Amino acid sequence: MSKVYFTKEISPESLAKVYQALGVELPGKIGVKVSTGEQGAKNYLKADLIGPFVKSLNGTILECNTAYPGERTSTKAHRKVAEEHGFTSFAGVDIMDEDGDMEIPVHHGKHLKFDLIGKHWDNYDSYINLAHAKGHMMGGFGANLKNQSIGIASRHGKAYIHSAGHTKSPLLCWNDKHEQIDFIESMAEAATAVADYVKEQGKQIVYITVMNAISTSCDCDSKQDDPVMPDLGIVASLDPVANDQAFIDMVWKFAEENPEHEGVKALMERIDSRLGREILPYAESLGLGSREYELEEI
């Protein structure tokens, strides 16, 4: 059973406290994987919240270019959005696939033969998967597992995951014919590949999810909708499956306690209509983590 640390308070101070509760001192050069948010999005993690934490660790913001057409498809445009969204005000921003990508193995996948991640990934000694919890148009929901699969994948790697291993082409992947569950499972396979690769290199990655400004659409959506439910807090763990499960459980608990709340109903419908929760048992079956966890409030 994994440990998940939780705080209801969402502030720079509580972000630091929940990280410290993990009891891990990350060595060397630290990469912080966070979504910089598509131009037009409004709910991405803001500089005034995460900036002091990232700065205290001398961390570098890690991102990769998008497979979908938008303002973060190229490195130059992506850097501009990151600057406009305040990320360069507190840290360096590394667009990891600026110089291409690298292939890492998928050991137990039934969809992906490999994973393609940003080439600069190896430039770091340890990592923080700092996710923003929200719904997602294609994946149902996004938190640590999505941030570690689609988020760390290069532009071509994103296409490969979205097509469930059928093509690396950002032009062709959106028309690929596959079952929705194949895409969901492909995300789990990619996230597991990253965790395995980090472990094989003797490095460490920790997981934090900020559950604020929760909308039904992702930070990658330029027309992102408004938050649909109250903020829940922050969770942190060494286990991404447990951390994502904790977020999902809190959403369902809120719905149970507030049966007439239309916003949370919309979020749950988005998640289940895309088979979003199915990523959790499949990731667990791959050995990425456990859905069983102990929640410790700090």
The number of domains in the chain is 1
Neighbour tally for 256: CB within 10 Å: 9
In this predicted model, what pLDDT tens digit does every residue of 20-42 receive, in sequence order? 999 999 999 999 999 999 988 88
Question: For the domain that residue 19 is a member of, what is the CATH number?
Answer: 3.40.50
- Find residue 205's DSSP bridge partners: 127
For residue range 164-173, what is the model confidence (pLDDT) as tens digits?
Answer: 999 999 989 9
Q: Domain range holding 204?
A: 2-297
pTM over 0.95: yes
Nearest-10 Cα torsion for 206, 267, 232, 39? 70
In the chain, where do the E strands start and end? 2-7, 30-33, 60-63, 93-95, 101-105, 114-118, 126-132, 134-136, 140-142, 204-211, 233-237, 293-297
Task: Give residue 185's pLDDT.
Answer: 98
| Average pLDDT per 10 consecutive residues for the chain, totaling 298 residues | 97 98 97 93 95 98 90 89 96 97 95 98 98 96 97 97 96 92 98 98 98 93 89 98 98 98 98 98 98 97
Residue count of the chain: 298
